[in-house]
Structure 1
Amino acid sequence: MTRSIDYGNLMHRAMRGLIVEVLRQVEREGLPGEHHFFITFDTRHPDAALADWLRQRYPEEMTVVMQHWFDNLQVDDDGFSVTLNFGDQPEPLYIPFDAIRTFVDPSVEFGLRFEAPSDDDDDEDDDDGDGGDDDPAPGSERHDAEVVRLDRWRK
């Protein structure tokens, strides 16, 4: 059995750690300057908590903005809770870190995107001919991570 370093998984954890650290700083000190976040997450994640009407409106993914008004930001090891304003209606959310698909701070042109593996990728891994064991450890998920292009959020 050939062993290898799983750089993709290591990068994934490091990038999630960066998000945790940024949100903990905002929890302690508030958003500095013009910083603000667009956070897209998987609303189907079993630990994501949001109002039923939001889940019905966004059955797969949702992008939230943390900028001018947010309240009760609390960060734990697995995710964060925050109250955001939806049409003058405050709604609490809980977003697990492993449900985040993109994290963007357009004020400094910074962004991360987390890709879930697709069925096509699995087929390619099976046929790579190196004989190595590319399957993730039992009980873990394999995700690829990359820096997101910021053109989408440019003004």
Structure 2
Amino acid sequence: MSEDSLRYDKMVEDALRGVVRDALTQTAEHGLFGEHHFYITFRTRFPGVRLPGHIMVRHPDEMTIVLQHQFWGLEVDENHFEVTLSFSGVSERLYVPFAAITGFADPSAKFGLQFQVEDEEEEFEDEDLPEEIPDGDLGDDTPADTSDEGGKVIALDAFRKK
């Protein structure tokens, strides 16, 4: 595409990222309503993403987080969100630019979005990863569900591009 043409595809994606931003802003201000919960998939190597090293080792390219029962300190601004989640019983702070998001879903509303992420990824070499990870350090990265309800498994295939 020539540089002098309008990038409608980028404009639409930016507008749809605004939907994610608005949903997270409302959640930060008022909490989750009813059965709403979010699956957010993002590129872990995208510039500006901040994750603890042991999480980066486990998810070197992309990861999905769930905002449902156990998340704290959700903060949202124009370009990113921050949230604290529990990984193997340890609270960890994540910083995610909206431009790093590749997918957003709210299964309770049967709503999902897929995004193309520009190839702005910084070079990330294997030597940037910790050399050794003590046994048991990686654990299960899924936030624990402390509700009295039974767990639900939701396939995200319905929200993925085919």
**Structure 1 length as normaliser, TM-score?**
0.73
Q: Which has the larger radius of gyration?
A: 1
Deviation at 1:105, TM superposition (A): 0.4
After superposition, the CA RMSD in angstroms is 2.2
Residues 67-112 of structure 1: CA deviation (Å, up to 9, x unaligned): 0110000001110000011121111100110000000000111000
User: Relative to structure 2, which stretch is displaced further, 58-67 or 5-14?
Assistant: 5-14
Are positions 1:19 and 2:20 aligned together? yes
SS for the counterpart of 1:50 is: coil
Instruction: Give the 3 Å change call, closer, same or farther, for CA 4–37 of structure 1 in structure 2.
Output: same
- Structure 2 distance, partners of 1:2, 1:38, is 34
Kept in 1: contact 2:113–2:159 (CA 8 A) = no
The number of aligned residues is 123
Is the partner of 1:115 in helix, strand or coil? Answer: coil
Identify unmatched segments of 5+ residues in structure 1: 119-148
Aligned to 1:51: 52
Amino acid at match of 1:55: M
Q: Given the alignment of the two structures, is residue 80 of structure 1 paired with residue 48 of structure 2, yes or no?
A: no
Write the letter of the residue equivalent to 2:59. Y
The answer to whether the 8 Å contact 1:39/1:100 transfers is: yes
Q: 1:30 corresponds to which residue?
A: 31
Q: Indicate whether 1:151 and 2:151 are aligned.
A: no
Give the distance between the partners of 1:7 and 1:30, measured in 2 at CA. 33
Cα distance, 1:48–1:66 mapped onto 2, change above 3 Å: same
CA-CA distance at 1:152 after TM superposition: 6.1
Deviation at 1:150, TM superposition (A): 5.5
Aligned with 2:115: secondary structure?
Answer: strand
Equivalent residue number for residue 64 of structure 1: 65
Instruction: Look up the SS of the partner of 1:40 in the other structure.
Output: strand
Query: Could you tell me how far apart the structure 2 residues matched to 1:58 and 1:2 are?
Result: 35
Q: Quick one: percent identity of the two aligned structures?
A: 43
Q: Distance in 1 between matches of 2:7 and 2:47?
A: 26
More helix by share: 1
- Equivalent residue for 2:130? none
Segments of structure 2 that go 5 or more residues without pairing to the other structure are 120-155
Matched, 1:92 2:102: no
